[in-house]
Amino acid sequence: MLDQLPASLWSVPYVGHRFPGSSAVARRPDLAAGANCQLFAYEVLRHFGLAPPDLRSSDLWSDTQATIRVSEAQPLDLLLFNATDNAYGAHVGVWAGEGQVLHLCAEVGRPSVWETPEFAARERYQVLIGVKRVIARQSPVSPGNRM
């Protein structure tokens, strides 16, 4: 999965005020201007044909229409981490398999892959709140409907 990501996703800078629903994203939706963890994770999933809802962490955790909670992560599932078990303000990453999580955080400034113990070692990410699987898929675009 990681080797299938385009270079443009690997170069997205962390910009905390660019989150789903923010006016900064509405003015310039492309990720070249940066993203927070949620916006980045959702774009990764869209690259693979999934249709994640543009929700903040706590709303994502509560969502039951486009996502489901699962106990075992599979590639492209979303993981939520926080200092506590509260989903409000949780950090979102994408399960890449084999204990690896692709994410975008302020500490690194660019997308990176951490092993799960690296999250537990940091106070602000020490609690794995849970795993969400996006069940909604993007609608196929027919050749006549492309822009």
Q: What is the pLDDT of residues 20-33, one digit of tens each?
A: 999 999 999 889 99
Q: For residue 131, what pLDDT is reported?
A: 98
- Answer whether residue 145 shows pLDDT above 70: no
Q: What class, spelled out in words, does domain 7-138 have in CATH?
A: alpha beta
- Answer whether residue 147 shows pLDDT above 70: no
Task: Note every long-range contact of 35-42, with CB atoms under 8 Å and residues 24 or more positions apart, other chains counting.
Answer: 35/104, 36/104, 37/91, 37/92, 37/93, 37/103, 37/104, 37/105, 38/92, 40/9, 40/12, 40/103, 40/104, 40/111, 41/78, 41/92, 41/93, 41/94, 41/102, 41/103, 41/104
- Residue-range domain boundaries for the chain: 7-138
Share above pLDDT 90 across residues of the chain, in percent, rounded to a whole number = 89
Query: What are the pLDDT digits (tens) for 61-77?
Result: 999 999 999 999 999 99
pLDDT averaged over every residue in the chain: 94
pTM of the model as a whole: 0.93
Q: For residue 141, what pLDDT is reported?
A: 61
> Which is more confidently placed, 146 or 118?
118
